[in-house]
């Protein structure tokens, strides 16, 4: 029975990971295909390129392109949130391994090594996310002003 579990658990784990990767990639491919179809239909509706250019300069065309302009900003925000989430998870996982090393009954060199590595990866993710936020604000991909552009507030006056 123990041998069957030793074979089935890793196999099941890898099958689950393969299914998740397949599902995510298929969803992304379908989304890209749908976007391409919508763009093709939109282009087919115009008889000439001048009509298409006139549409793009219209308020409706600008609204359509507005979604394209905001896409990098949305991706930037998603990447930053993903970095924070990954940093939290790996840091606390590493701290959990290090906490296991506090007890002499459970202390293991493997736990110490895993704890140090995971904590370092988590802290690295936090640093990477912080740098990404700073650069994204400088490049205009995220809302927010740099410290030099912030308006000065008079805290002594009462409104």
Dump pLDDT digits (tens) for 29-65.
Answer: 998 888 888 877 877 777 777 887 887 788 877 766 6
**Overall pTM surpassing 0.75 (yes/no):** no
pLDDT band at 156 (very low <50, low <70, confident <90, very high): low
- 100 part of a folded domain: yes
Residue 41 domain flag? no
Distance CA(17)–CA(158), nearest Å, equals 59
Q: Is residue 105 part of a domain?
A: yes
Is 40 among the domain residues? no
pLDDT in tens, 98-154: 999 888 888 888 889 999 999 999 999 999 999 988 888 888 777 764 444 444 444
Count how many domains the chain has.
Answer: 1
- Neighbouring CB atoms inside 10 A of 71's CB total 10
pLDDT at 1: 73
Please report whether residue 78 resides in a domain: yes
Q: How far apart are CA 45 and CA 33, in angstroms?
A: 19
Domain span holding position 141 = 71-159
């Amino acid at each position: 029975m123990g041998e069957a579990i030793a074979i089935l658990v890793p196999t099941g784990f890898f099958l689950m990971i393969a299914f998740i990767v397949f599902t995510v990639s298929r969803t992304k491919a379908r989304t890209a295909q749908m976007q391409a179809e919508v763009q093709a239909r939109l282009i087919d509706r115009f008889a000439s390129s001048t009509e298409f250019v006139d549409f793009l300069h219209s308020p409706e065309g600008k609204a359509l392109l507005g979604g394209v302009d905001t896409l990098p900003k949305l991706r930037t925000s998603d990447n930053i949130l993903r970095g924070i989430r990954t940093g939290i998870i790996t840091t606390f996982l590493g701290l959990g391994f290090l906490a296991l090393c506090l007890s002499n009954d459970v202390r293991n060199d493997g736990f110490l090594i895993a704890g140090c590595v995971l904590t370092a990866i988590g802290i690295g993710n936090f640093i990477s996310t912080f740098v990404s936020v700073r650069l994204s604000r400088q490049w205009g991909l995220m809302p927010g002003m740099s410290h030099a552009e912030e308006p000065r507030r008079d805290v002594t006056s009462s409104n």
